[in-house]
Copies of this chain bind each other. A is one copy, B any other.
Amino acid sequence: MPKKNAFYAQSGGVTAVINASACGVIETARKHSDQIGKVYAGHNGIIGALREDMIDTSQESAETIAALRHTPAGAFGSCRYKLKSLEENRAEYERLIEVFKAHDIGYFFYNGGGDSADTCLKVSQLSEKMGYPIQAIHIPKTVDNDLPFTDNCPGFGSVAKYVAVSTKEASLDVASMCESSTKVFILEVMGRHAGWIAAASALAAEEAGDPPHIILFPEVPFHEQDFLARVEQTVKEQGYCVIVASEGAQNPDGALIAGSVTTDAFGHQQLGGVAPTLAALIKHELGYKYHWALADYLQRSARHIASATDVEQAYAVGKAAVEYALAGKNSVMVTIERCAGEDYQWKLGEAPLEKVANIEKKMPSDFITRDGFGITQLARDYLAPLIAGEDYPPYRNGIPQYAKLNKVAVEKTLNTPFDI
């Protein structure tokens, strides 16, 4: 059987460790050069495949590929581009197969969230129908931790650690200032529909009464009076109050607390503004001086404070994707399974893509305290091991040294333009 090449692409919002998965894919493929040809990376994700715009990773040194392990964001470029359904735009899928055929690609490794799991599935199904079978393996990635069938998602552990560490540090700051100045601090974090990231802030607390004092989840309807009462009570008891709010926190009628809403290419709403809205409410109703922060991209790109567990798992799912492909598997997502027992141990598994696609995993209700403002011991036990361990990048002159790729383009053989 002649060796087939592999295609790898990054999809959706990037993370601090998605390149560690790329590193796992490429290093493992190189180790199996008897069975796999070159790894071509989509330039800007799946858009690169549609445009026949790919990066030849074989032109990168072993050192550069190894450096991907400690490099945040998407080194090959990612994209927010959701393929339409087969019925709506079959031409897009046919184009993908055409490009893969032209470049002798037999393996499709797609590194993303729920939407890309769906794309991955369709590529596999259609390629078979078109008589050019491609093994499609989905490599999980999302800071939102909302993929089903996997215990957790690579990318989440690092944003969780960033949020927990930042909450701890900013809380010490507020505690220092509260006697004569700032009494309330609000940190707005990512999480449109699931409160996993906000929940992780609770790991900053080591004893009862420790901040964060209030967490707002998208899963729990926001009741203004309950919230204000808790803020006031906390300031009276602790001298200050630290609040961590999911961007997707919403009122009982389902309207977002954040005022302004725009929509991205996936049809997702782009949010922002929970923190200033809450700050204004508190100032108006309680009169407390406040500060607030919006971490935005800083939280998901913070490779400098990545979780060692997360880095290890991100690498492992990339490595496993190649091994699964070589074992003949197809249309599966690599999963992380938590082993039974008190000490945290994990192993890899798999889930069929037709079950994964387009399902969002929210926080279980028994992870949230009855008052809706905190997490339970069950949640803490789940979250704690995911942020364990530090994995520092190398520094030069005080600045982390991240991988710089040559990005040599794969020569086009089709050379036909494709409008997206």
Q: Which residues of A contact B (CB under 8 A)?
A: 10, 13-14, 16, 44-45, 47, 71-75, 77-81, 161, 164-166, 168-170, 172-177, 179-181, 185, 187, 203-204, 206, 264-265, 270, 272, 276, 289, 291-298, 300-305, 307, 309, 384, 387-390, 392, 395, 397-400, 402
Contact = CB atoms under 8 A, between A and B. Distances in A.
A176 B294 contact: no
A173 B388 contact: no
Given A74-B177, A78-B176, 13 more contacts: A13-B177, A16-B169, A47-B180, A78-B177, A79-B181, A80-B180, A181-B264, A181-B265, A185-B297, A272-B276, A272-B292, A304-B305, A387-B399
A169 B298 contact: yes
A71 B172 contact: yes
Nearest to A293: B296
The A contact surface, by secondary structure, is mixed
Contact of A169 (B73, B74, B176, B289): B73
Nearest to A71: B172
A14 B298 contact: no
A301 B170 contact: yes
A47 B179 contact: yes
A293 B297 contact: yes
A176 B14 contact: yes
A134 to B, nearest CB: 23
Nearest to A182: B297
Contacts of A302: 166, 169
Contacts of A291: 296-297
A304 B387 CA distance: 14
- Candidate in A204, A294, A390 with the most chain B CB atoms within 10 angstroms: A294
